[in-house]
Amino acid sequence: MMTRAMDYVADSLLRLTRSRHRPAVGQIGPEDVPIPAKQREVRFSDFENVARLQERGGLRKDNQENWCRLWRQNPALAVAKSQLSMGWVLETAQGIVGYQGSIPLLYQFGGRTLVAAVGTGLVIEPAYRARCIGLMASFYRQRGVDLFLLTFAAPSVVELSKALHATALNQHCYDKKLFWVLDAHQFAKARAARAREKFALGSGMVAVGTFLGSSVLRADTLRRGPRGRLTNKFGVTEIEVKDIGDEFEALWQRKLTETPGLFADRSPASLRWHFTLPGSSSTVAVLCCHRFERLVGYAIVHHTIDRETGMRRSMLADILVEQDDTSMTETLLEAAYSNAVASGGHLFEVVGLPRHITQILMRWNPYVRRCPTDPLIYKTADEALARTLAAENAWYAGPFDGDATLMP
């Protein structure tokens, strides 16, 4: 088994190496030979160097206040039995050339509190790509961690994770992104701009493409989205993240007694920490559903602006409903869609979430885009947990898992 795994790793690294541009024989200078690099754990003082590396690698820019939130104010730190790592870096005499972050999160499973580690921000200079396996192996070897997970990683990273015995989540439709176009003109404009870059089109062609695309989209979007007039059947109200309080705790505790399975911790403290994004242009809407003055469900919508296209994206970041009541779930989904429209969003997106939620959304005739690789990869040494997670609906998984809604 170990031999097959290492062969798999070798094949993956070979494909990775072949994909890189190499100078012709006789044209390799001293600057092309990598400086020796050592691997060590991340220190908080590494922020500036890691941030510069991430910018060079094309990743979104983080800020020091967010680092403090993730690794000093994290609720998981009070629960962990040993000191948890922030991640690992590759360092040369000239600076940091590789980084793999590790964010601790809390989970609930069968009355137990588990500590999970979420891989984040993996970036490595091209000359050191073969060292990626060392960073990832260190991530998966952490002590004091019950569950490891990566979300929306590059295909090569997913391959290496599987070689290190990680497993793809077995959840219906998790590899598909559902979305609705809320602003046909802006969506068509962004698509035309991308085509201009790819095919070197002139501005006139882009303008024509935007006009034709938006005209077709406007007609097509009429048959998509919630059916009929959106109504507030159960008194949905909106609050700020800081106002998440005791009624959320009561709902959370009731939810834990309904169905056995794995849930990311949704206590008020964890929710407030998760959705407070310092130094971010993103905004968050918390939609609450009440029945007889008792909170019976909520939905959280995350509004972001795509830095490359300028598209305003609204994503359903989390939804939790008592007893998975269909009427209340549909009401909250409609409220989330309405919130996206009211915010001026160009797209409303949903990824992951259990089958009973996606079944409602599929009736809204969404556009569907398949992810290029498995969106969630996990690993655990807990045999009972591993057996449980092999079942389709054992994990209430969605964007709340991983780092998709954690970063500014």
Asked whether the predicted pLDDT for residue 393 surpasses 50, the reply is yes
Prediction pTM value = 0.86
DSSP state of 202: -
Residue 21 has pLDDT above 60, yes or no: no
Bridge partners of residue 294, in order along the sequence: 291
| Alpha-carbon span 257 to 234, nearest angstrom | 23
User: Which amino acid belongs to residue 317?
Assistant: A
Residue 403, pLDDT > 60, answer yes
Instruction: Look at residue 197 and tell me whether its pLDDT is greater than 80.
Output: no
Task: Kindly state the average pLDDT of the residues 32-38.
Answer: 78
Bigger pLDDT: 347 or 195?
A: 347
Specify the higher pLDDT residue, 31 or 252. 252
Between residues 354 and 259, which one has the greater pLDDT? 354
Nearest Cα residue to 114 out of 149, 138, 139? 149
Q: Can you point out the beta strands (E) in 125-235?
A: 147-151, 167-168, 176-181
> What integer best gives the mean pLDDT of the chain?
86
- What pLDDT, on a 0 to 100 scale, did the predictor assign at position 82? 87
Residue 32 has a pLDDT of 53
In this prediction, residue 229 carries a pLDDT of 56
- pLDDT for position 129: 92
Q: pLDDT of 305-351, one tens digit each?
A: 987 778 899 999 999 999 999 999 999 999 999 999 999 999 999 99
pLDDT at 22 over 60: no
**Residue-level pLDDT at 234:** 64
| pLDDT-based confidence at residue 237 (cuts at 50, 70, 90) | very high
The predicted structure's pLDDT at residue 207: 54
- Alpha carbon distance 278, 175 (integer Å): 30
**pLDDT single digits (tens) 129-178:** 999 999 999 999 999 999 999 999 999 999 999 999 999 999 888 889 99
Residues 6+ apart with CB under 8 A from 3: none
3-state secondary structure of 162: helix
The pLDDT confidence band at residue 192, using thresholds 50, 70 and 90, is low
Higher pLDDT: 69 or 5? It is 69
Residue 84 and residue 104 in contact, taking contact as beta carbons nearer than 8 Å: yes
Rg of the chain in Å (alpha carbons): 22
pLDDT in tens, 277-307: 998 889 999 999 999 889 999 999 999 998 7
Q: Tens of pLDDT along 203-230? A: 554 454 455 556 777 788 878 999 765 5
**Whole-number pLDDT of residue 390:** 92
Closest residue by Cα to residue 399 from 241, 242, 177: 177
Report whether pLDDT(124) > 60: yes
DSSP 395: B
- pLDDT at res. 187: 80
Question: What pLDDT does residue 33 have?
Answer: 54
In sequence order, what E strands does 84-218 have? Answer: 87-92, 95-109, 112-124, 147-151, 167-168, 176-181
Give the integer Cα–Cα distance in Å for 205 and 193: 10
Question: Can you list the pairs that 159-164 forms with residues at least 24 positions away whose Cβ atoms lie under 8 Å?
Answer: 159/8, 159/12, 160/9, 160/12, 160/132, 160/133, 160/136, 161/136, 161/377, 161/379, 162/8, 162/377, 163/5, 163/6, 163/8, 163/9, 163/12, 164/5, 164/9, 164/136, 164/137, 164/140, 164/379
66, pLDDT greater than 70: yes
100: left (phi over 0), alpha (psi -120 to 50) or beta: beta
- The predicted pLDDT at position 329 comes to 96
Mean pLDDT (whole number) for 261-286 = 95
